[in-house]
């Protein structure tokens, strides 16, 4: 009888351990999946940028420097090691703000604004920018869920035994918290 109870207890414990372990794996998988969402959008944007540059170039009597900056940031992003998430996001954020200034200046070129190709690219880029922002938010949400699981009892025991490491949040860049300021250099036009 005692043996039977002992066996039952062990079986229950094993089942609990397995299900908690699997829950943790799934939760960690979610954060990875969320990161890959961001990655997909970053790649998509990298593909769109050369087209944008080509389209804008013809009209651009303006800001050659901004175009070059966008290109160089894009190249940095392409060659950046993908395992350092925060570094990748940092370059990506700089790229975002450079793109914003291209858009803002381009607003004052009626010919460019009327260009179909440009309008399409604008929507595509706005779409990727938003997707990057929203998948970053999703990444942080899934990370928060995962990290909370690591600390909560009794999941914490399994997490310690299985050496689960907490995931790091993506930080919100300072410049995204305030509204972007766009300056027009009248003399440069």
Partner 1 sequence: MLFDQIAKNKRKTIGLFVGFFLFMAVVGAALGYFMWRSVETGLVIALVVGIVYAGYMYGQSTDVVMSMNHAHELTGPDENPELWHIVEDMALVAQVPMPRVFIIDDASPNAFATGNDPQHAAVAATTGILDRLNRSELEGVMAHEMTHVRNYDIRLQTIAVALTSAIALLANFGTNFMFWGGGRRSDNDRESNNVVGIILSLLVLVLAPIMASIVQLAISRNREYLADAGAVELTRNPEGLISALQKISNSEPMSEQNVAPSSAGLYISNPLKLNGMNELFATHPPMDKRIAALRQL
Chain residues in the site for partner 1 (CB under 8 A): 37, 120, 123-124, 126-127, 130-131, 134-135, 137-138
Q: Nearest approach, Cβ of 176 to partner 1 (angstroms)?
A: 11
**CB-wise, 162 or 180, nearer to partner 1?**
180
CB of 137 to partner 1, least distance (A): 6
For 172, phi and psi rounded to 5 degrees? -80, 125
* Least distance (Å) between residue 150 CB and partner 1: 20
Return the residue matching tokens 């009794």.
154
Q: How many residues does the chain have?
A: 189
Q: What residues contact residue 97 under an 8 Å CB cut-off, 6+ apart? A: 175, 180
Question: Nearer Cβ to partner 1, position 43 or 120?
Answer: 120
C-alpha distances in angstroms, 113 versus 108, 157, 164, 185? Answer: 8, 59, 51, 19
CB of 24 to partner 1, least distance (A): 19
Cβ proximity to partner 1: between 121 and 158 the closer is 121
Q: Which is closer to partner 1, CB of 63 or CB of 124?
A: 124
Cβ(27)–Cβ(142) below 8 Å: yes
Distances from the Cα of 37 to the Cα of 11, 33, 86, 127, 134, angstroms: 39, 6, 15, 14, 10
Q: Which is nearer to partner 1, 13 or 126 (CB)?
A: 126
In the complex, what is the shortest distance from the CB of residue 59 to partner 1, in angstroms, rounded to a whole number? 22
């Amino acid at each position: 009888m005692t043996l039977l109870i002992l066996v039952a207890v062990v079986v229950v414990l094993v089942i609990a351990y397995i299900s908690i372990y699997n829950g943790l794996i799934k939760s960690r998988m979610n954060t990875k999946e969320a990161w890959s969402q961001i990655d997909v959008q970053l790649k998509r944007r990298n593909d769109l940028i050369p087209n944008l540059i080509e389209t804008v170039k013809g009209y651009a009597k303006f800001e050659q420097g901004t175009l070059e900056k966008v290109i160089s940031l894009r190249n940095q992003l392409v060659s950046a090691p993908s395992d350092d998430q925060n570094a990748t996001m940092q370059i990506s954020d700089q790229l975002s703000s450079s793109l914003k200034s291209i858009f803002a200046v381009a607003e004052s070129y009626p010919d460019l604004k009327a260009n179909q190709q440009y309008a399409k690219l604008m929507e595509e880029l706005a779409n990727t920018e938003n997707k990057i922002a929203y998948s970053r938010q999703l990444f942080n949400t899934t990370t928060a869920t995962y990290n909370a699981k690591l600390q909560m009892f009794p999941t914490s025991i399994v997490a310690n035994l299985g050496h689960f490491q907490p995931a790091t949040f993506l930080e919100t860049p300072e410049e995204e918290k305030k509204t972007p300021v766009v300056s027009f250099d009248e003399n440069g036009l």
